[in-house]
Amino acid sequence: MSHWLAVTSAENWARCLAAATWGVKDRFTNNLKQVALGDDVLVHVVGMRSAGIFRVTHPYFYSEDPIWPDDVYPHRIRFEPAIVPPEPVDIKPVFSRFFPSISPGGYFRTSFRRLPDEDYELFRDFLEEGEVQTLEFSVEKPEPQPEFALSLERDLEDYLEGNLQVIESGLKLYVEGALKGRQFGTDVNRIDLLAQDGAGNLVVIELKAGEAGREVLGQILPYMGWVREHLAKGKAVRGIVVASDFTSELLAAINVLSNFALYRYAVQFTLKKVAPVAPMTR
């Protein structure tokens, strides 16, 4: 089962409820065609409110029957309530708590997209219980990284956010209005760092605390494709992987990719004696 995020206005959502139907414009057709019977859709109402979770009862179909006042939205699915509060609930507290580095405008920018399982579970728990105890309790991740690796990756992200010029002269964090390029939300999960080079081209940066293997290409390539489709506006899109080391398979793969670069970081530890300050005597 897949999970989806649908974003709409209060007025249009009232029409959706009345018709038990969700619709999108042509640009989101491919996403809607991937929705299967029994999938769950988290509905976000503009103004940082959640209308709840709805289960798909009829997959993709095309119809121009009028439902909404502002557009036709002919690509449609039908749904029924699954976890629905009496009224749309304020999600600002849970969003700011668990997504502190992400702009709501970026996260809820797209009208319809796939929702990562861990994000879905956070919102589901909030709607069911009114709170989420901890990330560790609510989210089960396969093969969790050691706490040291997670901390190191966050520190690396903190540093590079304000010092992208150490990677490349002229490189800067992507900014568009309220949107910023750190943990940038897309239809295919979040980009660690989204940057622009001196020529205005977009650069997707993936960070790894340890060694990066060829599987990192499976993460960064969808991000690059999404950026090219939605943000590039004719500009080039490049990828950069920053890691402590790289497998021979990844190094070989990069040889045939002209829009990729690898950067190795190093952590230096310095030890300084602080005690005892004087030689010990008996």
Q: What is the pLDDT of residues 26-70, one digit of tens each?
A: 988 998 999 999 999 999 999 899 999 999 999 999 999 999 999
Contacts of 200 (CB under 8 A, 6+ apart): 235
C-alpha distances out from residue 18 to 15, 67, 93, 229, 239, Å:
5, 9, 29, 33, 45
Cα distance between residue 46 and residue 111, in whole Å: 10
- Check pLDDT > 80 for residue 194: yes
CATH number of 147-264: 3.40.1350.10
> How many Å from the N-terminal Cα to the C-terminal Cα in the chain?
72
How many Å apart are CA 10 and CA 68, to the nearest integer? 11
| Whether the predicted pLDDT of 213 surpasses 70 | yes
Euclidean distance between CA atoms 49 and 197, whole angstroms: 36
Secondary structure (3-state) at 225: helix
Residue pair 224/187 in contact by the 8 Å Cβ criterion: no
Q: Are 204 and 194 in contact (CB under 8 A)?
A: yes
User: Residue 158 has what pLDDT?
Assistant: 86
d(CA 282, CA 272): 25
User: Residue 151 — pLDDT band, cuts 50, 70, 90?
Assistant: low
Predicted confidence at residue 118, as pLDDT, reads 87
CA distances 203 to 71, 97, 200, Å, are 35, 28, 9
Tokens of 87: 């009224």
How far is the C-alpha of 236 from the C-alpha of 262, rounded, in Å? 18
Question: Which of 7-21, 98-112, 166-180 has the weakest average pLDDT?
Answer: 98-112
pLDDT value, residue 143: 46
Higher pLDDT residue, 63 or 185? 63
Mean pLDDT taken over the chain: 85
Query: Which segments of 71-226 are extended strands (E)?
Result: 75-83, 89-90, 112-114, 172-173, 175-176, 179-180, 182-186, 189-196, 202-207, 211-212
- Maximum distance among all Cα pairs of the chain, rounded to whole angstroms: 95
User: Between the ranges 155-164, 192-201, 266-275, where is the mean pLDDT highest?
Assistant: 192-201
Q: How many CB atoms lie within 10 A of CB 220?
A: 19
- Sequence-separated (6 or more) residues with CB below 8 Å from residue 161: 173, 182, 193
- Average confidence (pLDDT) over 152-156: 76
Smallest CA-to-CA distance from 40 within 2, 78, 84, 7 is with: 2
* CATH value of 3-136 in 3.30.1490.20, 3.10.590.10, 3.40.50.300, 3.90.1150.10: 3.10.590.10
The residue that leads in pLDDT, 93 or 64, is: 64
Give the residue-averaged pLDDT of 151-176.
Answer: 86
Helix H or strand E encompassing 272:
none
Give me the residue spans of the domains in the chain. 3-136, 147-264
User: Encoding tokens for residue 209?
Assistant: 């605390």
d(CA 209, CA 162): 18
